[in-house]
With several copies, the nearest count.
Chain A
Amino acid sequence: MKNMFHKCMKAAGRVRILAAAAVLLLLSGPAMAAVPDESQFIFNTFSFLVHGFLVMWMAAGFAMLEAGLVRTKNTTMQCLKNVGLFSIATIMYYVIGYNLMYNGVDKGFMGTIGLWGHDDSAALGGKFAGEGVTAYAASSDFFFQLVFVATAASIVSGTVAERIKLWGFLIFVVVLTGVIYPIQGAWQWGGGWLAEKGFADFAGSTLVHSVGGWAALTGAIILGARKGKYGADGSVRPMPGANLPLATLGTFILWLGWFGFNGGSQLTMGSAKDVIAIANIYITTNIAAAGGVVAAIVLTQIIYKKVDLTMALNGALAGLVSITAGPDSPSLGLALIIGAIGGVIVVVVVPLLDKFKIDDVVGAIPVHLCDGIWGTMAVPLSNGDAKFATQALGVAAIGGFVIVTSAIVWMVIKAVIGIRVSSEAEEMGLDMAECGMEAYPEFRGSQSI
């Protein structure tokens, strides 16, 4: 999403122009071409709602992807964490997050503290344009922003799966969605200092994906790897996901949701210009994902002589994350390349993390962090207003902020209630240990043979 503040100005501005145009047309003859203000208001709001429910749907995508990539004994827990984190994000963003991110940031570092509430008096009073008037229903904007927060939290849950305590994780989500995400979000989308600097992150390669990625990375390091994942001899013992069709479904859900994620980030749909932009975003987003998939398939075939489905799935997400920082400007060809490079990055980084004994269960770090950075740096390739230096500044500033804050939070939680389950619990599986409930009680399954 571009800076909301600028955006409103822009909206207002455009409206006046169109209005004028309309008048001319009305006088000149061939009849009104322009979109009435109230229609614009409806188009903008409905765009937020439709694209918002697509992004909300991504919560299911992450849940299925992760449930499919963990082992059976931790599947119930993974589902629980995903349902829980979306709920917590919803509540926290209402209680503190939204205002902290968008209310009176004014080129600064954060907004105000307090419950969010909607005010549509202007529109209800028939005023749709002008200073400070938003061109959409307040709640539709809130809804759209909200589902983005949840995405960041979902990213974390995949990486730290199969060993983190339920409550330790949920408490982290409270802080991430209530404080960490909103503050850095305020810097850019809230109209803060970073936006002033001219940083460009259309739909959140950095603000959403790398943020989730950084939090996941610090979490993975502080938690340590799953028991038995890495042999003393540096050997890696894979722990294959238990249900790949579910992971595939999750990926398709995310792919679908991404049309809302990127398309809705145009923020308005009340003019031909806007809807054309949204349409362009749909196809660059789609082809970037395709590029990521094809790159991963070809590369794993070449390197490993076999095609790795999980890499192909990560490849799709890699392409999507890569294009997210600037889906509006590149040509289809460039979008394809950006996505393909994203896919290559994933295939290369996944084994690399294992070298460093960083245990990322679902590959969220390569996908969301590495490609989040790549995507952000790739914006200047097609967007003249974006500068590499500024992009790097944004990546670094937000990265630094999230690393420090989330490390502190992880540490505090570790000290106070602990974040890691006992090794017996890990052995037995979190499902029996913390939920007392198997995900697939009738399917004989065990890692043992």
Chain B
Amino acid sequence: MKLIMAVIKPFKLEEVREALTPLGVEGMTVSEVKGFGRQKGQAEIYRGAEYMVNFLPKVKLEIAVKDELVPQIVETIQKTAQTGKIGDGKVFVSQLEEAVRIRTGESGQDAL
């Protein structure tokens, strides 16, 4: 099993989720994060003082999937989350050794 972690622009979340369901992704865990990268935040002004916002709001998806699915999932995320503008985000893949479904105690791929 692999753990796919994707950082995307917030407003792309729904789209990505919908695109993944047909591929058999039955679950995911999402968190609000702030991203720092090439994309520079706009210069803001507060009461006459200029300042840079370095961290931009992003959404992080964590999806555990069986190995076979990884390529198409990664590709689908990449395609769907893409706007072509800087700051679109990343997809990371890492190895997952075990997964357990708390409700049933099932483990391995059945837990996903």
Tell me the A residues contacting B by CB distance below 8 Å. Answer: 236-238, 240, 303-304, 306, 308, 310-311, 347, 350-351, 354, 363, 427, 432, 436-437, 444, 446-449
| Those 3 A-B pairs whose CB atoms lie nearest each other, nearest first | A351-B48, A448-B10, A238-B46
B27 contacts the other chain (CB 8 A): no
In the complex, which residues of chain A have a beta carbon less than 8 angstroms from the beta carbon of B14? 448
Given the interface contacts A444-B32, A449-B32, A449-B55, does A310 sit within 8 Å of B13 by beta carbon?
Answer: no
B47 contacts the other chain (CB 8 A): yes
* Cross-chain contact of A436 among B11, B45, B57 (Cβ < 8 A): B45
Q: Which residue of A lies closest to B46 (CB)?
A: A238
B47:A237 contact, CB within 8 angstroms: no
Docked pose: A310 CA to B59 CA in angstroms: 29
A448:B11 contact, CB within 8 angstroms: yes
A237:B51 contact, CB within 8 angstroms: yes
In the complex, which residues of chain B have a beta carbon less than 8 angstroms from the beta carbon of A238? 44, 46-47, 49, 51
B47:A310 contact, CB within 8 angstroms: yes
Q: Which residue of B lies closest to A352 (CB)?
A: B48
What secondary structure prevails in chain A residues at the interface with B?
A: loop
B13:A449 contact, CB within 8 angstroms: yes
In the complex, which residues of chain B have a beta carbon less than 8 angstroms from the beta carbon of A432? 42, 44
A311:B47 contact, CB within 8 angstroms: yes
In the complex, which residues of chain A have a beta carbon less than 8 angstroms from the beta carbon of B46? 238, 240, 308, 310, 436-437
In the complex, which residues of chain B have a beta carbon less than 8 angstroms from the beta carbon of A240? 46
In the complex, which residues of chain A have a beta carbon less than 8 angstroms from the beta carbon of B10? 446-449
Q: B52 CB to closest chain A CB, in angstroms?
A: 10
B44:A437 contact, CB within 8 angstroms: yes
Docked pose: A304 CA to B11 CA in angstroms: 28
Known pairs A446-B10, A447-B10, A449-B59. 16 more at Cβ < 8 A? Answer: A237-B49, A237-B51, A238-B47, A238-B51, A304-B45, A308-B47, A347-B48, A350-B47, A351-B48, A363-B47, A427-B11, A432-B42, A437-B44, A449-B10, A449-B32, A449-B55
What are 11 pairs between A and B in contact, CB < 8 Å?
A: A238-B44, A304-B45, A311-B47, A311-B48, A350-B47, A350-B48, A351-B47, A436-B44, A448-B10, A448-B59, A449-B34
In the complex, which residues of chain A have a beta carbon less than 8 angstroms from the beta carbon of B49? 236-238, 351, 354
B30 contacts the other chain (CB 8 A): yes
Q: A214 CB to closest chain B CB, in angstroms?
A: 21
Q: Which residue of B lies closest to A311 (CB)?
A: B47
Docked pose: A303 CA to B48 CA in angstroms: 9
Q: Which residue of B lies closest to A240 (CB)?
A: B46
Within 8 A of A (CB), among B47-70: 47-51, 55, 57, 59
B51:A446 contact, CB within 8 angstroms: no
A446:B45 contact, CB within 8 angstroms: no
Q: Which residue of B lies closest to A437 (CB)?
A: B46
Docked pose: A448 CA to B11 CA in angstroms: 6
Q: A446 CB to closest chain B CB, in angstroms?
A: 5
Q: B6 CB to closest chain A CB, in angstroms?
A: 13
Given the interface contacts A446-B10, A448-B59, A449-B13, does A354 sit within 8 Å of B32 by beta carbon?
Answer: no
In the complex, which residues of chain B have a beta carbon less than 8 angstroms from the beta carbon of A304? 45, 48
- Considering residues B13, B42, B48, B55, which has the most beta carbons from chain A within 10 angstroms of its beta carbon? B48
In the complex, which residues of chain A have a beta carbon less than 8 angstroms from the beta carbon of B48? 303-304, 308, 311, 347, 350-351, 354
Docked pose: A109 CA to B29 CA in angstroms: 64
In the complex, which residues of chain A have a beta carbon less than 8 angstroms from the beta carbon of B45? 304, 306, 308, 436
- Considering residues A304, A350, A363, A427, which has the most beta carbons from chain B within 10 angstroms of its beta carbon? A304
In the complex, which residues of chain B have a beta carbon less than 8 angstroms from the beta carbon of A310? 46-47
In the complex, which residues of chain A have a beta carbon less than 8 angstroms from the beta carbon of B57? 446
Docked pose: A449 CA to B29 CA in angstroms: 11
Docked pose: A346 CA to B31 CA in angstroms: 37
Q: B84 CB to closest chain A CB, in angstroms?
A: 13
